[in-house]
Amino acid sequence: MLLFSFRKLYSAGISKFFGYAVPACKIKDLSKLPCYYWSGGFVQVSMKLEMKDSPGQLVAALKPISDVGGNIIAVIHQREPDSDHDTLDVQIVLELPEGRLEKLVELLKEQGVHIQRIGEQRLLYKRTVILIGHLMHTGLSDTVDQIDSTGFAEVSELAMSMPAVKDRSSSRLTIKSVSKEDMEAALAILRRVSQQKSLLLIEPLEEIA
Amino acid sequence: MKIALIGLGSVGRGVAEMIAKKDLGLTITGLADSKSGAMDSGGLDIPALLAKKKKNGYCGDTNLAALDIINKADYEVLVEVTPTNALSGEPAIGYIKAALARKKHVVTSNKGPIALASKELRALAQKGGVALRYEATVAGAIPIMHTLEQGLAGNEILALYGVLNGTCNYILTRMAAEGLTYEQALMEAREMGYAEADPTYDVKGIDAAIKLVILANTIWGNGVKLNDVDCTGIDLLTPDALRLAEDDGCTIRLIAEAIPRKHILRVSPRIIEKNHPLVVDGTLNALTLETDMAKEITLIGRGAGSVETASAIIGDLLFIKDRYDGRA
């Protein structure tokens, strides 16, 4: 049995969350970050933080993010050539369960971190589905592409298990989208594709509203 | 209050035994199984008739059929607990009509008549000024109908989600817990007596869909039928799928779901968080109602069983006794 799992870096378009172009980004290893399970909406936030340029400051600034159930998407450390060397500017992109931003701001202030600005936010919806069937024979990459090519939703994670060649395989797909409507549209595409390819699509039970 | 009991399978036996055993003010004056019938307006000797059934395979006089009892016996409430026929609803629909025509109350555990002919039967009951109650048709011992009718009176029911088939829930529980294949778990369910020789009706989600139709018609009176349910069973699930769900803190359950504002009427295997109230183990059933005032209410209990189902039927009988005492 083959089992693999990969996570696409949700790095595309990070620059558009900032008002200006971002130079080379250092994306942290996402697999080592805490993954908070939340089936409701996420808010994606970019922040520009200013902190003392001394050992341990960055870690102290990042800790509150996991405390509020957030996920760090990117940390961009940018040294301004003309800045004085006492402070450090760091930009971070993170996703948070809805309604936790205020708490995060409070915690960051307690850590002595100065928030220069909080960037544009957008809702981030996440849904996990399971597909069962002859996934490889029916073109798994095409199935994924049908979502990715929409431009408003994408498959951000895929885990798969394939028993003997003739047997049906099973996979778990995590889809992300900008809005709830986009998620519905993405799931509608997946339902149609599943039907065409005779795959069994198992959807999550939506949070009871 | 005098009762005519039609059907002496697992459920009928449970009802007869509990009425004989408990002092509930209920007397069985008519009794019929598939081969015979018995009646006595003074009250039948239930233990003797049950013993006869066990010994001979029938309980009464083989010259008396169920319809004879329904049409001639002296009773106030017909308890109709014959096996479900999901396609025609017969002969139960005929039995119920005959009793309603005599202005007798009816209590049934039979899904066929309620799913197929509830509108007509309810109209007949209303015309005769009698009750038609069917608590036992959905989720066994769980008092879902009483909860909707009394406990949640005045609430608008916005949606309902349920685990309504114990056989499927047992199979999924075992697949998740032991990594069994669907075939292995089904075989185990059969050995335990939780699955029929032909499990199609359960594993394809049809049984859950019929219950969903009954609930939807009861709550919203929207006249939906079995064909309106978007129905997917559990027979194509793999142990890998359950493990993939498990890796994410979730599991898979067969969920019946009705959300009228979104035009959703569906039975399908779903990914669900393991700590969700609807994730119950083994043959248990569970139902979550989403309402405007009470918000979410979840009921969990046994969905089948002789005495468990009798509990629902006796609840209906005592409701009728309280409500109509001296007027029927």
pLDDT in tens, A193-207: 999 999 999 999 975
> Which residues 6+ apart lie within 8 Å of B113 measured at CB?
B80, B89, B92, B93, B96, B121
CB < 8 Å to A172, chain B? 244-245, 247-248
- Catalytic residue numbers of B, as ranges: 211
Pairwise CB contact (< 8 Å): A161 & B247: no
Specify the higher pLDDT residue, B178 or A97. B178
Q: Choosing among B240, B246, B280, which should be mutated to test the A contact, i.e. which has the most A CBs within 10 A?
A: B240
CA distance B180 to B7: 37
Specify the higher pLDDT residue, A120 or B280. B280
Specify the higher pLDDT residue, B50 or A113. B50
CA distance A114 to B219: 55
Alpha-carbon gap: B264 to the closest alpha carbon of chain A (Å):
12
Pairwise CB contact (< 8 Å): B288 & A208: yes
- Planar angle of CA A202, B258, B270, nearest 5 degrees: 15
Pairwise CB contact (< 8 Å): B244 & A161: yes
Phi, psi dihedrals of residue A176, rounded to the nearest 5°: -120, 145
CB < 8 Å to B232, chain A? 200
Q: With an 8 Å Cβ cutoff, is A202 touching chain B?
A: yes
Q: Choosing among B157, B230, B247, B248, which should be mutated to test the A contact, i.e. which has the most A CBs within 10 A?
A: B248
pLDDT, residue A122, reads: 58
* Closest C-alpha among A202, A143, A185, A209 to residue B248: A202
Residue A97 amino acid letter = P
The string of pLDDT tens digits covering residues B88-145 is 999 999 999 999 999 999 999 999 999 999 999 999 999 999 999 999 999 999 999 9
pLDDT, residue B281, reads: 95
Residue B287, pLDDT above cutoff 90? yes
Pairwise CB contact (< 8 Å): A130 & B236: no
Both structure tokens of A92 = 């971070």
Q: Choosing among A200, A201, A203, which should be mutated to test the B contact, i.e. which has the most B CBs within 10 A?
A: A200
Strand segments, DSSP code E, in B274-313 are 284-291, 296-302
- Of all residues in chain A, the one with the smallest CA distance to B289 is A208
Pairwise CB contact (< 8 Å): A170 & B268: no
Both structure tokens of B245 = 């769900």
Pairwise CB contact (< 8 Å): A172 & B247: yes
Digit-by-digit pLDDT tens for chain A (209 residues) are 333 333 333 333 333 333 333 333 333 333 333 333 444 567 778 888 888 877 888 888 888 888 888 888 878 776 666 556 677 788 888 888 877 888 888 888 888 888 888 875 555 788 999 999 999 889 999 999 999 888 888 898 899 988 887 889 999 999 988 778 888 999 999 999 999 999 999 999 975 43
CB < 8 Å to B243, chain A? 161
Q: What is the ipTM, given to two decimal places?
A: 0.85
Sequential DSSP letters for B120-174: HHHHHHHHHT--EE-GGGSSTTS-HHHIIIIITTTPPEEEEEEE--HHHHHHHHH
pLDDT, residue A6, reads: 35
- Of all residues in chain A, the one with the smallest CA distance to B256 is A205
Q: What percent of chain B stands above pLDDT 90?
A: 95
Specify the higher pLDDT residue, A69 or B148. B148
Residue A145 amino acid letter = D
The string of pLDDT tens digits covering residues B59-97 is 999 999 999 999 999 999 999 999 988 889 999 999 999
Q: What percent of chain B stands above pLDDT 70?
A: 99
Pairwise CB contact (< 8 Å): B241 & A130: yes
Alpha-carbon gap: A80 to the closest alpha carbon of chain B (Å):
41
Q: With an 8 Å Cβ cutoff, is A2 touching chain B?
A: no
CB < 8 Å to B240, chain A? 161, 163, 169-170
CB < 8 Å to A132, chain B? 236-238, 241
Confidence of residue B22 (pLDDT cuts 50, 70, 90): very high
Specify the higher pLDDT residue, A74 or B320. B320
Segment B290-297 shows an average pLDDT of: 96
**Which DSSP category does A15 fall into?**
G
Strand segments, DSSP code E, in B47-202 are 77-80, 105-108, 132-133, 157-163
Size of interface A-B (CB pairs under 8 A): 70
CB-based contact B80:B110 (threshold 8 Å): yes
For residue B137, give the H/E element and its range: none
CB < 8 Å to B250, chain A? 128, 204
Q: Verify cis geometry, omega within 30 degrees of 0, for the bond prior to A204.
A: no
Residue B231, pLDDT above cutoff 60? yes
- Planar angle of CA A150, A155, A158, nearest 5 degrees: 155
Q: With an 8 Å Cβ cutoff, is A39 touching chain B?
A: yes
* Closest C-alpha among A159, A155, A128 to residue A5: A159
